[in-house]
């Protein structure tokens, strides 16, 4: 009985760890402004550590929403959800305030759920900054998109395994990343990444990464996207080399671009000009702050 009582007493003394939770969402709609239709914020909700900022945009690219995690990072047991709704005919950008950091966990995995709805005639840009994954981290991330009619999308997700400038190595990681894109309810694109174990060993092979420590996926969904393929491939040819590899393919109104790099700095060297070429606009200001 004494042993049981001692065990119960010790269990009661173990504090419950605080976990970061939050939901943030924005919606855009067309409004009559000065006799013309312009994209404006229609709805905003934020709860917990998921926040939204709305910087002024002066370059004509349309409004922007900046998502941020006020908890400062994600670890095991954390759960954040970010959502954006692009109303019919709107054009807007969603980005993040900084790179999201996935820290070593004491148990469980962190969860990030990103969801977009893009209505007919709308152009959505999903341009978050990198996700930096540290040694011992665990993450389950989902990116779900519903496109309606002729809706357009440019989306990127980037992952950097440790900060090479700091000499960091990621020898233990549990990461899954799922993309699911539907148009009018029909699945048109699905992609899944699973990286579990020693990332250095897994990515050292020629067929798995050739030593890459940073990688990005870019997806463009637009009716005429196939006509841009040659131009994007020509740009990629000028950017690859010195620890950077990339390739692009187009099919059924989609363009998929994959980028690999030896570190986050090199990854940005190819990602930034790709985004600016695809969108036709400068990067969101948050990327340079």
Q: What's the N-to-C CA distance of the chain in angstroms?
A: 60
**Which one has a higher pLDDT value, 127 or 167?**
127
Sign of CA dihedral 253, 115, 257, 208: negative
The boundaries of the domain holding residue 142 are 19-288
Say yes or no to pLDDT of 17 above 80.
no
Looking at the structure of the chain, the number of domains it has is 1
Task: Name which of 53, 56, 61 is nearest 282 in CA terms.
Answer: 61
Instruction: Give a yes or no: residue 12 inside a domain.
Output: no
CB 202 within 8 A of CB 167: no
Structure tokens at 121: 């005639």
Q: Residue 244 falls within a domain, yes or no? A: yes
Q: What is the pLDDT of residues 36-84, one digit of tens each?
A: 999 999 999 999 999 999 999 989 899 999 999 999 999 999 999 999 9
206 burial (CB, 10 Å; 0-12 / 13-18 / 19+) is exposed
Q: Taking residues 90-107, report their average pLDDT.
A: 95
Number of neighbours of residue 29 by Cβ within 10 angstroms: 19
User: Residue 18 has what pLDDT?
Assistant: 77
pLDDT single digits (tens) 186-212:
999 999 999 999 999 999 988 888 899
Q: How confident is the model at residue 16 (pLDDT cuts 50, 70, 90)?
A: low
Q: pLDDT (tens digit, 9 = 90+) per residue, 254-270?
A: 999 999 999 999 999 99
Round to whole Å and give the CA distance between 114 and 101. Answer: 16
Q: Which two tokens stand for residue 9?
A: 């007493």
**DSSP-derived secondary structure letter, 105:** -
Give the per-residue pLDDT at 4.
54
Give me the pLDDT at residue 107, please.
87
% of the chain surpassing 90 pLDDT:
82
Is 4 part of a structural domain of the chain?
no
Confidence (pLDDT) at 167 = 77
In degrees and rounded to multiples of 5, residue 238 shows phi and psi of: -80, -15
Arithmetic mean of pLDDT over the chain: 93
Residue 79 maps to a domain: yes
Q: Which of 91, 95, 94 is nearest to 38 (CA)?
A: 91
Nearest CA-CA partner of 86 in 127, 126, 128: 126
Give Cβ neighbours of residue 194 (< 8 Å, ≥ 6 apart). 175, 176
Using CA atoms, how far apart are residues 224 and 227, in angstroms rounded to an integer?
6
Q: Is residue 8 part of a domain?
A: no
């Amino acid at each position: 009985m004494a042993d049981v009582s001692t065990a119960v007493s010790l269990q009661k003394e173990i504090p419950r760890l605080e976990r970061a939770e939050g939901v943030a969402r924005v919606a855009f709609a067309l409004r009559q402004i000065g006799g013309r239709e312009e994209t404006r914020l229609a709805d905003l909700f934020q709860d917990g550590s998921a926040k939204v900022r709305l910087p002024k945009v002066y370059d004509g690219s349309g409004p922007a929403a900046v998502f941020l995690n006020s908890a400062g990072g994600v670890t095991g047991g954390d759960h954040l959800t970010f959502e954006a709704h692009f109303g019919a005919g709107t054009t807007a950008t969603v980005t993040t305030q900084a790179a999201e950091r996935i820290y070593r966990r004491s148990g469980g995995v962190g969860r990030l759920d990103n969801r977009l709805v893009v209505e007919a005639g709308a152009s959505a840009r999903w341009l978050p900054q990198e996700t930096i994954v540290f040694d011992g981290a665990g993450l389950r991330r989902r990116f779900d998109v519903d496109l309606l009619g002729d809706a357009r999308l440019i989306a990127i997700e980037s992952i950097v395994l440790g900060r090479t400038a700091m000499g960091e190595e990621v020898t233990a990681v549990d990461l899954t990343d799922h993309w699911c894109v539907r148009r009018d309810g029909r699945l048109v694109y699905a992609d899944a990444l699973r990286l579990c174990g020693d990332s250095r060993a897994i990515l050292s092979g020629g067929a798995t990464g050739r030593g890459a420590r940073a990688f990005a996926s870019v997806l463009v969904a637009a009716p005429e996207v196939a006509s841009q393929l040659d131009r994007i491939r020509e740009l990629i040819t000028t950017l690859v080399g010195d620890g950077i590899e990339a390739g692009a393919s187009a099919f059924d109104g989609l363009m998929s671009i994959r980028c690999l790099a030896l570190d986050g700095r090199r990854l940005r060297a190819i990602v930034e000009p790709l985004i600016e070429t695809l969108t036709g606009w400068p990067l969101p200001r948050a990327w340079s702050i």
